[in-house]
Amino acid sequence: MITIALYITLAMVMIAALLNVYRLIRGPDSPDRVLALDTLYINAIALIILLGITLGTRLYLESALLIAVMGFVGTVAMAKYLKRGSVIE
Amino acid sequence: MNEIAEYIIAALLLVGGFFTLVGAIGLARLPDFFTRLHGPTKATTVGVGAIMLASVLYFSVSHDGIGISEILITVFLFMTAPVSANILAKAAMHIGVKSMDDTRGKPWEQ
Amino acid sequence: MLDRLNFPQPWLSLLLFAIWQFLSDGISGASVVLGLFLAWLIPQITQGFWPERPGFIHPWRMPVYLARVLMDIIVASVSVARLILSPRAPSPMFVCYPLELEHPLAISILASTISLTPGTVSADVSDDNKTLLIHALDAQSEQEVIDAIKTRYEKPLLEMFK
């Protein structure tokens, strides 16, 4: 029961990641690309959590936490770069 | 593991996957940057939140001892999603990204 | 040394302690000791960097507000999902929202709430903290968006902050 749901969810999240990559490549403006990267890291967190459930281990949670923190900082830094032309003024 | 918990976990997983997918479809399909902003900030955040909740339930039911650090990640995502949406919208307005033709109202200049 | 054994910001210390318990997956002897130490150390180090305290007058209304926002987030996701999956094009709109709140923390809470709830993303705050620029995904009229936000979210926040 859970196994089937797990595989369906994995497929859905992977399709979502592919759609993000499509927007990342296509995206007419640079904010679109940053937004696609932002969504992509959130999907990566979901994939890591799903991997953890599949393998029955909680070891990967720390990496999910790290990706959450670093992804947010990265998004803010890139948006700031787009706005001002430099990250640290 | 009992039956009811299994159903709840499976349902949460599917709901989470569905919302994540919808957020990505919105990102790929909607016509301009400002409308695309809506999909990831709401749908994707809720989707990942549901998957985290499923993980919390799964490990609490199947292993001994509860694991709660997923909740920390979820709270963090819910706090950061509006902030990154806001700062990206600011950057887009500064660059002068075009919005859809039938958008009413105008972004201001600063 | 002994006069330093206090907690200058009790709420921050409590929050740090709770986060440490979450991070170490439940309460154990080691996590309580280390959590207490961190809850003491971090406010001591960062004391100089904190801006003025927000003027909370009814902090106990926060849980009610958070519960309402959580409900609205779920409703918001469903409505956004329906809009994304339906074939018709959305009719987006920029709305200038006149703010009544004054404290920066209150404004940022309101802006975050707006971003997470149905059909709206807050895009910018004007330099004088008086107006909020909101992008609505699918709105009929400007007045409707403003009224919905005013009654649902700004009123409770106004009651919470001075």
Give the DSSP letter of residue B41: I
Q: What are the DSSP calls for C79-113, one per residue?
A: HHHHHHHSSSPP--EEEEEE----SHHHHHHHHHH
Q: How many CB pairs under 8 A join B and C?
A: 126
Supply the pLDDT for residue C107.
84
Nearest CA in chain C to B77: C116
Q: Under a CB-based contact definition with an 8 Å cutoff, are residues C83 and C138 in contact?
A: yes
State whether C152 and C103 are in the same domain: yes
pLDDT digits (tens, 9 = 90+) for C92-142: 888 888 888 777 778 888 888 888 877 788 888 877 778 888 888 877 777
CATH number at residue C94: 3.30.70
Q: Which domain holds residue C27?
A: 2-49
pLDDT digits (tens, 9 = 90+) for A30-76: 888 999 999 999 999 999 999 988 988 888 888 988 999 999 999 99
State whether C37 and C69 are in the same domain: no
Whole-angstrom distance, CA of residue C38 vs CA of residue C32: 10
The answer to whether the Cβ–Cβ distance between C85 and B22 falls below 8 Å is yes
- Is C124 inside a domain boundary? yes
Contacts of B105 in chain C (CB under 8 A): 93-96, 142
Give the strands of the sheet with C131-136, arranged side by side.
C93-98, C131-136, C120-125
The answer to whether the Cβ–Cβ distance between C124 and B107 falls below 8 Å is yes
- Is C128 inside a domain boundary? yes
What's the token pair of residue C161? 């902050």
Residues of C near B (Cβ–Cβ under 8 Å) read 19, 22-23, 25-26, 73-74, 76-77, 80-81, 84-85, 89-96, 111-116, 119, 121-124, 126-127, 133, 135, 137, 142
State whether C90 and C112 are in the same domain: yes
- Is C69 inside a domain boundary? yes
Supply the pLDDT for residue C77.
84
Sequence-distant (6+) residues with CB within 8 A of B33 are A29, A31, A32, A35, B92, B97, B99
One digit per residue, the tens of pLDDT, for chain B of length 110 reads: 688 888 999 999 999 999 999 989 988 888 888 888 888 888 888 898 899 989 888 888 877 666 677 888 888 898 898 889 888 888 888 887 777 666 666 666 55
Main-chain dihedrals φ then ψ at residue C69, nearest 5 degrees: -65, -40
CA of C62, closest CA in chain B: separation in Å? Answer: 15
State whether C22 and C99 are in the same domain: no
Q: Could you give the number of structural domains in chain C? A: 2
State whether C66 and C41 are in the same domain: no
Instruction: Find, among C104, C103, C116, the residue nearest to C153 by Cα.
Output: C116
Between C139 and A89, name the one with better pLDDT. C139
- Is C99 inside a domain boundary? yes
State whether C32 and C100 are in the same domain: no
State whether C11 and C31 are in the same domain: yes
Q: Could you give the number of structural domains in chain A? A: 1
| B3-29 helix and C62-85 helix, angle to the nearest 10 degrees | 60
CA of A86, closest CA in chain B: separation in Å? Answer: 12
State whether C65 and C108 are in the same domain: yes
Chain-centre distance for alpha carbon B6: 24
Main-chain dihedrals φ then ψ at residue C89, nearest 5 degrees: -80, 140
State whether C154 and C118 are in the same domain: yes
State whether C17 and C38 are in the same domain: yes
Whole-angstrom distance, CA of residue A48 vs CA of residue B96: 36
- Is A55 inside a domain boundary? yes
- Is A40 inside a domain boundary? yes
- Is A89 inside a domain boundary? no
Instruction: Find, among B63, C110, C8, the residue nearest to A52 by Cα.
Output: B63
A16: nearest CB among B21, B73, B97: B21
The answer to whether the Cβ–Cβ distance between B77 and A34 falls below 8 Å is no
Whole-angstrom distance, CA of residue C44 vs CA of residue A32: 41
Nearest CA in chain C to B79: C112
Q: Which domain holds residue A54?
A: 2-84
B108: nearest CB among C93, C112, C133: C133
State whether C98 and C156 are in the same domain: yes
- Is C54 inside a domain boundary? no
Instruction: Find, among C89, C153, C93, C154, the residue nearest to C119 by Cα.
Output: C93
Q: How many CB pairs under 8 A join A and B?
A: 155
CA of A25, closest CA in chain B: separation in Å? Answer: 11
- Is C108 inside a domain boundary? yes
B82: nearest CB among C111, C124, C135: C111
The answer to whether the Cβ–Cβ distance between A1 and B10 falls below 8 Å is yes
pLDDT digits (tens, 9 = 90+) for C62-77: 888 888 888 888 888 8
Question: What's the full length of chain A, in residues?
Answer: 89
State whether C75 and C152 are in the same domain: yes
With H, G, I as helix, E, B as strand and everything else as coil, classify residue C123. strand
